Chain A
Amino acid sequence: MSTIVKKVSQLMAGLIFMYGIYIILHGHLTPGGGFAGGAILAGAFILLILAFGSSALKLKKEVSGSSNTESLAILVVVVLALMALLLGSKIFFFNYLPKGEAGALLSAGVIPLYNIFIGIEVAGAILTIFLALVIFKEESSK
């Protein structure tokens, strides 16, 4: 890719990352939430890989990092849901943290925590899929 594409994508990747985090954190106030924010987060990384080309970057080390991030994030989500069985009333998925007043950022109990970890998980999953396909193409074209 040409120099303009590389420079612009280097500048924009940081902004896209911030935008993704904003959508995840305000998931209980505005539309979006875990899935959409996670996809935008993955988009920031994928933009960089597409702009710089896969042969210039050392991508084989990245796959284990994104795969482990994804699995750990899912484990945290299920553990959070199971913790409701231990604290307070014994029902799966119960909302056990204190809920603030409506419309504030720190409110709605355990839902923002779910949003954050699901966002990390979706970003890791989409990045792992993309990296697996790209590394496969690199190996088969050698």
Chain B
Amino acid sequence: MEALIPLFVAIPLIAAFLIVVFGKLFKGFHRFLAPLTLLILLCMAVFEFTGLGENSIPYAMGGWIGKEGLPLGIYLVLDGFSVLMLCIINLIGLIALFYSLSYIAKYTAENNYYALFCLIIAGMNGVVLSGDLFNLFVFLEVSVISSYALVAFGVGKTELEASFKYQVLGGLASMLILLAIGLIYWQTKTLNIADIRKVFEGGYSASFYLFVQVLLIAGFGLKAAIIPFHAWLPDAHSSAPSPISAMLSGVLIKAVGIYVLIRLFFNMFVFSQEIALVLTTLGAISMVVGSLLAIVQWDLKRLLAYSSISQVGYVVMAMGMGILLLLRGNNEAAAILAIGGALYHMINHAVFKGLLFLNAGSLEHRLDTRNLREMGGLSKAMPITSTTSFMASMSISGLPPFNGFFSKLIIIIAAINGRFYLLATLAVIVSIITLAYFLKFQRYAFYNKAAETATQKIKEVPFPMSFSMIFLAALCLALSLLAIPSVSETILSPAIDALIQPEIYSTTILGL
């Protein structure tokens, strides 16, 4: 149980380099090893999830156990929130990998694709598991540099330009994060997250605290693509190959952007009113501006990328509301609802945005175009694609009985309970705008009366691609069961408790 924790990082690292070395010798080696690795990782993640419960397990690398309450050495921490993120990362990774078994066949250099994919998974697993700041930065860089290479994978003009823009902005963000880590080390003389919290509880200087928090919001906000740091996202996510767009938009901006923001602002920093207001405002602005920019797009994947910005705004806004409610002190039930709604929406967005990008990939695979004006009337020619994309569009717009309805409803109820009436109204309006542009996607792609003869020659996509899409669509329906209180008790409550009561986190590490 405890010995499995470092294997989450070690196994994809070994698989990536085995693919590079042996991929030239045996022909189909990479197509066999990479899905096997991700299947093993998914089984390990589910096993840890069922066995964990309420406690959190720290793992000291190299056996360097701390003395007298001082943590020496590097810790990997597995608690309720981390194990939830691990399950999401490995599940969406396995589905995207299975999809790309037939999608990537038209590019050259397939070996490098699978090796880079395993490296992204290794980096994200490391970010989610790490217990101190600098280790988090190193794994963040591993996954982000692999994603730069994967965005530019099919080396055409638009992919290279999008990757260059992504790299310059991502490099700037990493530098701001490193500066913030240096300043935190200067004040607290330690790098362990639990130990930093103990130092901050003892008192801090207010201007330094605000400066460091703003640097971290800027750095990780650039990685998570909140407004005003969103400029790289439409280019990068629309030019990448479709399974990579699904990974980037569904998992990467959550695992290295939102997960770290939540972990640091709940478990490391003592709550402060101004920063919670900043987070809520940025989330609300992202929600509105993202959806308004998405209506005018005719390029399918750019529309989906702008809608990612909008949905990420929901999650950040709900987190900010949670902190504000906890600071007010008298309404803890609404705070638990807000944080639970944010986590549920994060899980849901990974599933349905992944499914939407895989659908866009199937359309591109058969039609060689992404422009909505050039498609039409495909609902009879590609039945699986059109049914699954209809289910995904209905769930992202928030219609019952799909999962998007329940998560948005929980966020709106929490806003009304906490008397944030403006935010609740904005959430409802943005939901209606989301329905508008997804109906536009459905009509122009599938139900338009275009030239029927032109679309007769188009067949359905091959089996690996259609299986992945059907699996994710079934997951969309199954996740709506999470709204039942007894189910969400077992799945979401360990994560919420780990965030609201940071003493669990601190005492298990420093108690060693």
The answer to whether A and B touch directly, with their CB atoms under 8 angstroms apart, is: yes
Residues on A close to B: CB < 8 A?
64, 67-68, 71-72, 74-75, 78-79, 81-82, 85, 89-95
Do the beta carbons of B60 and A91 come within 8 Å of each other?
yes
* Contact of B17 with A81 in the complex, beta carbons under 8 Å: no
User: Within the assembled complex, what's the spacing in Å between the Cα atoms of A75 and B11?
Assistant: 11
Contact A71 B63, beta carbon cutoff 8 Å? no
Assuming the contacts A75-B14, A78-B13, asked whether A92 and B6 have C-beta atoms less than 8 A apart, the reply is yes
B491 within 8 A of A: no
Asked if B61 and A92 sit within 8 Å, CB to CB, the answer is yes
Contacts A78-B10, A81-B10, A95-B62 given; does A90 touch B17 at CB 8 Å: no
Which one, B13, B14, B62, contacts A93 given CB within 8 A?
Answer: B62
A48–B94 Cα gap in the complex (Å)?
Answer: 45
Complex CA–CA separation, A78 to B3 (angstroms) = 15
A-B contact pairs, 25 of them (CB 8 A): A67-B20, A68-B21, A71-B17, A72-B21, A75-B14, A75-B17, A75-B21, A78-B10, A78-B14, A79-B14, A81-B10, A89-B63, A91-B60, A91-B61, A91-B62, A91-B63, A92-B10, A92-B59, A92-B61, A92-B62, A93-B6, A93-B63, A94-B62, A94-B63, A95-B63
Which residues from A are CB-within-8-Å of B61? 91-93
Cα distance A68–B17 when bound, in Å? Answer: 9
Q: How far is the CA of A89 from the CA of B6 in the complex (A)?
A: 15
A71, A72, A89 pick with most chain B CB within 10 angstroms: A71
What number of residue pairs across chains A and B have CB atoms under 8 A from each other? 40
Which residues of B line the A interface, CB within 8 A? Answer: 3, 6, 10, 13-14, 17-18, 20-21, 24, 59-63
B109 to chain A, nearest CB (A): 12
Contacts of A72 on B, CB cut-off 8 Å? Answer: 21
How far, in angstroms, from A91 to B10 measured CA to CA in the complex?
13
CB B509 to nearest CB in A, in angstroms, measures 16
User: In whole angstroms, what is the CA distance A29 to B308 when docked?
Assistant: 51
Contacts of B17 in A (CB 8 A): 71, 74-75, 78
A71 in contact with B21 given A85-B3, A92-B6 (CB within 8 Å): yes
Q: How far is the CA of A92 from the CA of B6 in the complex (A)?
A: 7
For B13, the chain A residues whose CB sits under 8 A away are 74, 78
CA distance A82 to B6 in the complex (A): 9
A91: B residues at CB distance < 8 A:
60-63
CA of A82 to CA of B10, assembled, Å: 8
CB distance from A47 to the nearest CB of B (A): 27
- Within 8 Å CB of A93, what residues of B? 6, 61-63
C-alpha gap A89/B10 in the complex (Å): 18
User: How many whole Å from A120's CB to the nearest CB in chain B?
Assistant: 13
Complex Cα distance A79/B14, Å? 8
For the complex formed, measure the closest distance between the CB of B281 and the CB atoms of chain A, giving whole angstroms. Answer: 42
Chain B contacts for A71, CB-based, 8 A: 17, 20-21
Closest Cβ of chain B: how far from A77's Cβ, in Å?
Answer: 10
